[in-house]
A and B are shown apart, each in its own frame.
Chain A
Amino acid sequence: MRAVLRAGALLAAGTLTAALAACGPVSGGGAASGDSGAKSVTVFAAASLKAPFTALAEQFEATHPGTTVTLSFAGSSDLATQITQGAPADVFASADIKNMAKVSGAALVEGSPRDFASNVLTIAVPPGNPAAIASFADLARPGVKTVVCAAQVPCGAAAKTVETETGTTLTPVSEESSVTDVLGKVISGEADAGLVYVTDVKTAGAKVREVPFAESAKAVNTYPIAALRRSRNKDLAAAFIAAVTGPEGRQLLRGAGFGAP
């Protein structure tokens, strides 16, 4: 009976471990980075960096044979939380200073973060521009369905800054928790206009139209990047950061709509 019991418990524990191992990209990346044979670098990057960083990772793998770049894209605050909770990342690229400060505040950053790109807000409207939006002030017009980010997330904080600077008060129909959700509402035509980043409009292509506004310069988001102290591949992490801040990285970032830091 006792033996059976133990076998059962073992079986259960084994199944659980196997199940967990099967579905953990994070732990998988950790195992790979500990491997002495194949070299790999795990990069946690803000969701807005998806296109340029994916292209850059391919270039990096080509110029560094035998290297694997594992990319994990999510909201900067999610990534910062994951890193402070011990996620095995080698490099962190944040979409704002605040979330990088969370990580460096926990003494997890190697050296000091470097700013590598900037991003500004712009107005995205559905292709036909049904509400005839031409300026930032138009967003506050009664009857216009404007969607913005909530003040708790970086794009919402930037929107608040522009509002304060221009003395315009928006009455949005929704305050989304991510810029992707704002863009989604514009693409689906639910919203007449949304405040998103220049790079989001670039990614969306013909599905939205951009209405640039000069006041966007009042709120520039700076993107910092840093190697992480717990990294086991510090050389590779440094090399990847050099690629991001170097000419090839800058070119890809510019192509995606990012500004200079």
Chain B
Amino acid sequence: MNRRRDSAYSGIPRWVLAIAAVGALFVLLPLAAMVVRVNWPQFIPLVTSEASLTALSLSLRTAAASTVLCVLFGVPLALVLARGDFPGQRLLRSFVLLPLVLPPVVGGIALLYAFGRQGLLGRGLEVAGIQIAFSTTAVVLAQTFVALPFLVVSLEGALRSAGGRYEAVAATLGARPTTVLRRVTLPLVLPGLASGAVLSFARSLGEFGATLTFAGSLPGVTRTLPLEIYLQRETDADAAVALSLLLVVVAVIVVGLSYRGPAPAGSGSGSARSPGSSGRLSP
């Protein structure tokens, strides 16, 4: 109901359009400039060089692993934050969201002091024979650290706008909390979860600062695509630009997926998180 009225009114003042155009240009212009700067005849060889492919494959694998970790830990966190009621809840939320606003290099330093060789947990892990520093695990940890808030924010928003009515009904019908979660809550917020996971994946793919600080840079082990770009820029600007474009393309695809993702579940627009989407619940 609400949505229909929104779409009927399209009275955007023209000066807003003008400023919006400037804003859009501000984002698009640098990207266009980069596309112009690409050495097209060399593009394929540059992008398919062994170093590039090694970095791309490492990036995709680590980002996928980070996304899995984000879902694993992010879903319970979002549930606790959206549905729980306990002292310190707001504080917990602030801390979970902190990596969103922290400079990644700060995240890297923090991770170093937690999981590094001399770190809080790292020392114990070292004794146990587990070494995280300079390993692919370190890359995954860095990426999970920065990407987790994206999943929590998306999912918590979805949980809040979905409301708790259906869960309450299910509970009164005798469903146990785990059953409610599995049969009612998760199907209800699946679109939000999906877009959160895609965003986490995208953020993991772009992670640079924390990885550089915490994991190091070794081909095939810790040198992800952003680190490879940073290094190539030193000697081969063409390679750096070509790889940047590759990362832009991957990012555009991923973000495109995340915005289309919720649509089929909702009734057309991206507002799948509105209670209206509950229509899919009826079997």
**A interface with B by C-beta (< 8 Å):** 1, 4-5, 7-9, 11-13, 16, 75, 77, 81, 145, 147, 150, 152-153, 172-177, 181, 184-185, 188-190
Contact = CB atoms under 8 A, between A and B. Distances in A.
A4 B222 contact: no
Contacts of A5: 14-15, 18
B212 A9 contact: no
B249 interface: no
Nearest to A151: B235
A16 B235 CA distance: 33
Given A4-B15, A175-B218, A189 B22 contact: no
A185 B230 contact: no
A144 to B, nearest CB: 12
Contacts of B16: 8
A145 B233 CA distance: 26
B234 A153 contact: yes
B9 interface: no
Contacts of B217: 150, 174-177, 181
Nearest to A192: B117
B230 A13 contact: no
A190 B19 contact: no
25 contacts: A5-B15, A5-B18, A9-B15, A12-B22, A13-B22, A75-B234, A77-B233, A77-B234, A145-B133, A153-B231, A153-B234, A172-B218, A173-B216, A174-B216, A175-B217, A177-B231, A181-B212, A185-B216, A188-B112, A188-B118, A189-B116, A189-B117, A189-B118, A190-B112, A190-B117
B166 interface: no
Interface residues of B, number: 32
B22 A9 contact: yes
A184 B213 contact: yes
Given A173-B134, A177-B217, A12 B234 contact: no
Contacts of B13: 4
Given A174-B134, A175-B218, A177-B231, 15 more contacts: A4-B14, A8-B16, A12-B18, A12-B22, A77-B234, A81-B237, A145-B133, A145-B134, A173-B216, A174-B215, A174-B218, A177-B212, A177-B230, A190-B112, A190-B118
B272 interface: no
A173 B14 contact: no
B231 A190 contact: no
Contacts of B235: 77, 152
Nearest to B214: A190
A22 to B, nearest CB: 16
A177 B234 contact: yes
Contacts of A190: 112, 116-118, 133-134, 216
Q: Would you call the interface of chain B mostly helix, strand, loop, or mixed? A: helix
B96 to A, nearest CB: 26
A152 B232 contact: yes
Nearest to B131: A145
A81 B14 CA distance: 41
Given A1-B14, A177-B217, A150 B116 contact: no
A175 B216 CA distance: 7
B45 to A, nearest CB: 18
Interface string B8-36: 00000111101100110010000000000
A176 B216 contact: yes
Contact of B15 (A8, A153, A184): A8
Contacts of A9: 15, 18-19, 22
B197 interface: no
A73 B18 CA distance: 39
A13 B180 CA distance: 53
B227 interface: yes
A147 B234 contact: no
A95 B235 CA distance: 15
Nearest to B235: A152
Nearest to B215: A174
